[in-house]
Amino acid sequence: MKKLSIFIIVAALIVSGCSKSFYDVNTNPNTSTSASVELVLSTALKITGARQINNMTFASQWCGYWAPSGSYAISSSDLSSYRETTDFADGYGLWTNAYDNLEDYDYIEKTATKNNQYFYIAAAKTMKAYQFQQLVDNFNNVPYTEALAGVSNITPKYDKGQAIYEALSTDLGAAVTLFQRADAIGSSTQDILFAGDRTKWAKFANTLRLRILMRQSQMSGRAAYIQTEINKIVANTSGFLTTDAAVNPGYSNSTGKQNPFYGSAYSVAGIFTQDFWRANAYTVAFCNGNGDPRLGRLYAPISGGSYVGCVPGASGNPVGSLSSTWGPGVLVSVSQPAVIMGAAESYLLQAEAALRGWLPSVNANTAFNSGVTANFAFLGLSAGAATTYTSQNNTQTNYAVCATDAQRLACIIRQKWMAFHDVTPFEAWCDYRRTGYPADMLLSVNPGRDANNIPVRMLYPTIEYTTNAANATAEGTIDHHTTKVFWNQ
């Protein structure tokens, strides 16, 4: 765990015009502690939004979205080998950066609690749940109850992943109750997620809670607990997301201020600079084989009009100019928002909960169709195109023609997999570990591959074995191909 790094002088930095990066909020924790919760929330959300793509590129390859072009040599130590060291996770900012971001939200919660700022208490609880869930999903047991104590405890204990999940569900329920207060007032300008709309925030908290519960759906003996928690969501009457939860701090065509995904492809001068990542042959094959018009929105055709993908780990991949790059549905503009949870996921989570009998008020087929339609709309396709797609006699695209619950679940997860493309790829990795779907996921063909399965977790980072050694080593010997997180046992 990072020893301390509370980000609390954002306001001073903004006012002074300091030249810090648009995304950099690291500050000296021994200076001012009077930053307004409004400004800290804005900055913290900006970081969270950037993390969903910038820190999750490993999932985009593992889950069949992207692959390196043939312009780059295969390496036995790259993503396609499935190898991990204790430096792997923090190379993607999955530990230290996550706790840094959590310290922002913890500062907001504590400061807002002192000042009875109910909106910000609730927002902080919600975003802490968002980040802690990802930590558990990556590492299983992690510091939680003692994690954000700063210098008063630089060797925090590890809490059980399941216990953390249960606490997060409770916290999200408390957040919704706070959002429902008439005096829960947020800033329409500094809240770069929902512009101070507490109703949307409550829906987001409910949807995140449903995600946490559905993550445990394959576990033995958890059905009664999940049902009880879902009943609490239904009882609070705020409902689930019907729009994307997406942050936009004012992305613009300036160095360091572009949308982080768009900026990874285009320079400020408008020159396309992304030569490494190209379309993955797996997604191209699925779209071509299932009449999926999203192909032309996710990827751009090469000269001649065809779509060409690369195979992870292959030695004969086409070079960058001969393989498809990202398309107009995901590279929209320099100022496009950064999605942290899409409406499509909300509907498809509801469809799965309904399929399992935990959300009887929802029609699974209707929710499924709404989820696909939401993703089509996100990519710039019409509702009519979505209806045509979901009306095929195809168990990959049409929930209604599935004959068994196994087929229905596979259909839901398949469409979640499509909806996560270039948005929240981390969720696709979690669903794949949880359900085994899509069942035909293309594995790397790298001859140096160290196992026949995609990794099932991350190894604790080197910094933990250095600064918190007793607690880290107490977790025992961990194998990233066999030591699963609690919900994947």
Whether 475 shows a pLDDT value over 80: the answer reads yes
Radius of gyration of the chain (CA): 22
How far apart CA 84 and CA 169 sit, in angstroms, is 31
Is residue 319 in a domain? no
Q: Residue 101 and residue 94: Cα distance in Å, rounded?
A: 11
Output the pLDDT for position 75: 62
Give the rounded percent of residues in the chain with a pLDDT score beyond 90: 88
Which residues on adjacent β-strands are paired with residue 245? 341
- Checking if the pLDDT of 175 tops 80, the result is yes
What is d(CA 164, CA 143) in angstroms, rounded to the nearest whole number?
9
Give the confidence band of 33 by pLDDT, cuts at 50, 70, 90: low
Is the residue at 145 inside a domain? yes
- Identity of the amino acid at 449: R
- For the cut 70, the answer to whether the pLDDT of residue 14 exceeds it is no
Domain count, the chain: 1
Q: Determine the 3-state secondary structure of 20 from DSSP.
A: coil
Measure CA 79 to chain center.
19
Q: Would you say residue 133 has pLDDT above 80?
A: yes
- Tokens 């400020």 label which residue? 268
CA distance 453 to 242: 35
Q: Which of 22-26, 96-100, 408-412 has the lowest mean pLDDT?
A: 22-26
- Determine the average pLDDT of the residues in 230-236: 98
Given a contact cutoff of 8 angstroms between Cβ atoms, the answer to whether 172 and 205 are in contact is yes
Show the CA angle centred on residue 73, arms to residues 422 and 262, nearest 5°. Answer: 25
pLDDT (0 to 100) of residue 34:
66
**Residue 12: predicted pLDDT:** 29
Tell me if 45 is assigned to some domain.
yes
CB of 413 closer than 8 Å to CB of 437: yes
Q: What is the pLDDT of residues 285-323, one digit of tens each?
A: 999 999 999 999 999 999 999 999 999 999 989 998 899
- Classify residue 292: in a domain, yes or no: no
Which alpha helices (DSSP H) does 321-461 contain, by range?
343-355, 364-378, 383-390, 405-419, 425-435
| 363 pLDDT more than 80 | yes
Name the pLDDT band for 131 (thresholds 50, 70, 90). Answer: very high
Q: Is the pLDDT of residue 269 over 50?
A: yes
Res 22 pLDDT > 70: no
* Range with lowest mean pLDDT among 10-24, 56-70, 299-313: 10-24
Instruction: Give the mean pLDDT of 113-139.
Output: 98
Look at residues 18, 41, 123, 37 and name the one whose alpha carbon lies nearest to residue 28. 18
CA gap 219, 223 in Å, rounded? 8
CB 335 within 8 A of CB 385: no
Q: Residue 230: inside a domain, yes or no?
A: yes
- Give me the mean pLDDT over the 210-221 stretch: 98
pLDDT of 30 strictly over 80? no
Q: For residue 29, what are the domain limits?
A: 10-78+86-251+340-437+453-488
- Strand 277-279 with 66-68, pairing: antiparallel
Residue 444 forms part of a structural domain: no
Banded model confidence at residue 463, pLDDT cuts 50, 70, 90: very high
pLDDT tens per residue, range 79-97: 899 999 999 999 999 999 9
- 381-419 pLDDT, tens per residue? 999 999 999 999 999 999 999 999 999 999 999 999 999
What's the CATH code of the domain at 479? 1.25.40.390
- For residue 179, being part of any structural domain is answered with yes
| Domain presence at residue 63 | yes
Find out whether 278 and 309 touch, Cβ atoms under 8 Å: yes
User: What does pLDDT average to over the chain?
Assistant: 92
